[in-house]
Amino acid sequence: MSDRSREWFERAVKRIPGGVNSPVRAWKAVGGAPRFVASGGGARIVDVDGESYIDFVGSWGPLILGHAHPEIVAAIEAAAKDGTSFGAPTPLEVELAEAVVERFPSVEKLRLVSSGTEATMSAIRVARAYTRRSRIVKFDGCYHGHVDALLARAGSGVASLALPDSAGVPPAFAAETAVAPFNDRAAVEALFAAGGDSIAAVIVEPVCGNMGVIAPAPGFLDFLRNITEKNGALLIFDEVITGFRVARGGAQELFNIRPDLTCLGKILGGGLPLGAFGGRADIMDMLAPEGPVYQAGTLSGNPLAVAAGLAMLHALGRPGVYEKLEALSARFQRGLEAALKSRRVAGIVARQGSMLTLFFGLERVRDAEEARGADRERFARFFHGMLARGFYWPPSQFEAAFVSLAHSEEEIDRAVAAFDDWAAAER
């Protein structure tokens, strides 16, 4: 560990639980102590000791244009000169809402919040009010923020009530959540057969990014759309990661599915704290002051975040953007797979668009149970091996890595060469 990062971490643990403000940043899954970042530009970050790394974390997804993109920085600076917060409506909020609706046909109205967790929490509340039902179905391994009812894991049966997955969550809260394996139609059918008239909504990451990248099996999202409609429940897509990432209109554009509600964040805020949830007008009109569902936020629609988000969406609207991102990501995948094969290191590269995960020791990954079978010790060695070679990867087997438009072909090829070098030494 670098000297100045060590000093900062020692100071941090005295005043911040675990020394970090979000758990995965502590590197518990890979060992060691975290680097403290001083700055970033393009595809690179620089730590407090001046060490530079090509970054594949991208602030966990938002930085699809790279660090400190000039258009984003300019938008924030311009907005800040007019004021940082008003607690009153602004024209930019309306423009951002219109921009989202234009890109997501399933969204007729939306409300801005400050985080993805707020978005999913609020969407669940609206879904319960609209359907007058209380139970929620989620999938094992999908993460929807630190909402009490959604911090749940599977019980003893496939179609079971959930158990709390965090201290401080009363069992009664988790009991209103049912958990099924991702990509398992039979488990979802069993839940609806056992009590479909009590299920308010099914919430899903259409492409999983929090148990590593796992794509939906062919027809699985269509199945969820059909079974929710048949049973009078709502379908909620958590596109906090996939929104504007896997396609201009998110995973729902990619798979041609229209959910009832959509949760957004990350890229939407251009790297600043911003989230949103939206959907059909008749559902969204349940919100106060129009309807009986209360939801509010002092910094919701913050002008700096909204300005950054508008600049981000403008940049992503240029011709060829997603084609370039796909070409870079496919190049990365091909290179990593070739290195795995040539060095005879067991593993797969799971990718959807510009998000990907290396799973060591597996031949396929369809759900959380299979993902948990990955060789995490080898992953930790991989993480530190790549770090030593100048590449910053997510410090967890179960987080997605991200390619950005700031990455060049040369940087992608250098990352592949570094991985090949590590794999040769690993074998």
Check residue 244 and give its pLDDT. 98
Check residue 234 and give its pLDDT. 98
Note the pLDDT tens digit of each residue in 87-116.
999 999 999 999 999 999 999 999 999 999
* Residue the block writes with tokens 């990365």: 332
* pLDDT tops 90 at residue 372: yes
What value does the mean pLDDT take over residues 216-235?
Answer: 98
Same domain, 116 and 36: no
Note the pLDDT tens digit of each residue in 355-365.
999 999 999 99
Check residue 418 and give its pLDDT. 98
* pLDDT tops 80 at residue 131: yes
* pLDDT tops 70 at residue 159: no
What value does the mean pLDDT take over residues 211-231?
Answer: 97
Report the DSSP beta bridge partners of residue 279.
Answer: 109, 261
Predicted confidence band of residue 157 (pLDDT cuts 50, 70, 90): very low
What value does the mean pLDDT take over residues 17-21?
Answer: 94
Catalytic residue status for 82: no
Same domain, 15 and 84: no
CA angle 231, 232, 233 (to 5 degrees): 95
* Residue the block writes with tokens 């805020």: 269
| pTM reported for the whole predicted model | 0.96
What value does the mean pLDDT take over residues 29-55?
Answer: 96
* pLDDT tops 90 at residue 75: yes
Cα–Cα distance, 283 to 290 (Å, whole number)? 11
What value does the mean pLDDT take over residues 136-141?
Answer: 94
Cα–Cα distance, 134 to 104 (Å, whole number)? 27
Same domain, 44 and 83: no
Residue 382 neighbours by CB distance under 10 Å: 22
Report the DSSP beta bridge partners of residue 152.
Answer: 164
Name the domain boundary from 278, 294, 316. Answer: 316
Same domain, 351 and 255: no
Same domain, 180 and 49: no
Q: Of 53, 130, 143, 322, which residue is the catalytic one?
A: 143
Report the DSSP beta bridge partners of residue 44.
Answer: 41, 54
Specify whether the CB–CB gap between 399 and 212 falls below 8 A: yes
Name the domain boundary from 272, 298, 316. Answer: 316
Catalytic residue status for 143: yes
Same domain, 187 and 235: yes
Same domain, 12 and 43: yes
Check residue 156 and give its pLDDT. 35
Same domain, 50 and 86: no
Check residue 405 and give its pLDDT. 98
Cα–Cα distance, 282 to 340 (Å, whole number)? 50
In the chain, the percentage of residues whose pLDDT exceeds 90 is 90
Instruction: Please give the mean pLDDT across all residues of the chain.
Output: 94
Q: How many domains does the chain have?
A: 2
Task: Specify the CATH number for the domain of residue 137.
Answer: 3.40.640.10
Q: Which of 274, 216, 256, 232 is nearest to 85 (CA)?
A: 274
Task: Specify the CATH number for the domain of residue 335.
Answer: 3.90.1150.10
Predicted confidence band of residue 129 (pLDDT cuts 50, 70, 90): very high
Check residue 163 and give its pLDDT. 56
Same domain, 256 and 151: yes
Domain limits for position 276:
70-316
In the chain, the percentage of residues whose pLDDT exceeds 70 is 96
Q: Of 47, 138, 140, 266, which residue is the catalytic one?
A: 266
What value does the mean pLDDT take over residues 168-172?
Answer: 77
Same domain, 50 and 152: no
Predicted confidence band of residue 74 (pLDDT cuts 50, 70, 90): very high
Same domain, 348 and 276: no
Name the domain boundary from 316, 338, 371. Answer: 316
* pLDDT tops 80 at residue 221: yes
Same domain, 160 and 18: no
Check residue 150 and give its pLDDT. 79
What value does the mean pLDDT take over residues 350-375?
Answer: 96
From 136-150, 164-178, 224-238, the region with the lowest mean pLDDT: 164-178
From 151-165, 222-236, 398-412, the region with the lowest mean pLDDT: 151-165
Check residue 2 and give its pLDDT. 65
Check residue 3 and give its pLDDT. 85
